[in-house]
Homo-oligomer: A and B are copies of this chain.
Amino acid sequence: MKDVKLKVYLSGEIHSDWRGDLINEAERLLLPVEFLTPVITHDASDNVGVDILGVEENDFWKDHKAAKINAIRIKNGIEKSDVVIVKFGEKYRQWNAAFDAGFAAAMGKPYIVIHPKEFTHALKEVDGQAMAVAEHTDQVLKILEYLTLQE
């Protein structure tokens, strides 16, 4: 499958630069992979609704308008990808990551989860439908290398 680029959507936490690291390493290894991502600039992502469509008094609607615009890109990303990577970091609730995993599962889209070991019990339903459960990003890199370059 070397000639075909594998499309990989990178879902999950946006508080560390794991996406940049993974993309750089994949490029260094010349993996035939094309990465798709959500918007990862936190402020832009949170404010896009009110920035473009007008202010809201109520924070619920501010969030709502942003979430829906972001959903266009997220949905497109998951649908176009061959495999979805969902990373859960140490902090925050990250319900959007679990939502993306459920979305991928219902579409029959294979996904790989990355999370610290201590989340094993809390993430059992998310892990249960995953094609792989990793602890570190470099394990995902190795899986992508295997999926694309291994004869």
A contacts, CB < 8 Å to B: 1, 3-4, 6, 34, 36-37, 39-41, 44, 48-49, 51-53, 57-61, 63-77, 80, 82-83, 88, 92-108, 110, 112, 119-134, 139, 142-143, 146-147, 150-151
**A128 lies within 8 A of B71 (CB):** yes
**B110 lies within 8 A of A106 (CB):** no
User: Could you say which of A3, A48, A58, A102 has the most chain B C-beta atoms within 10 Å of its C-beta?
Assistant: A102
The answer, among B1, B36, B128, B143, for a CB contact under 8 Å with A64, is B128
CB nearest to A107 among chain B residues = B106
A107 to chain B, nearest CB (A): 5
Docked complex Cα distance between A77 and B150 (Å)? 14
Report whether over half of chain A's contact residues are helix, strand or loop; otherwise say mixed: helix
A61 to chain B, nearest CB (A): 6
By a CB distance below 8 angstroms, the chain B residues around A151 are 39-41
**B146 lies within 8 A of A1 (CB):** no
**A52 lies within 8 A of B4 (CB):** no
Docked complex Cα distance between A143 and B108 (Å)? 24
CB nearest to A57 among chain B residues = B57
Docked complex Cα distance between A129 and B58 (Å)? 18
Given the known A-B contacts A93-B93, A96-B98, are A133 and B53 also in contact in the complex, defined by CB atoms under 8 Å? yes
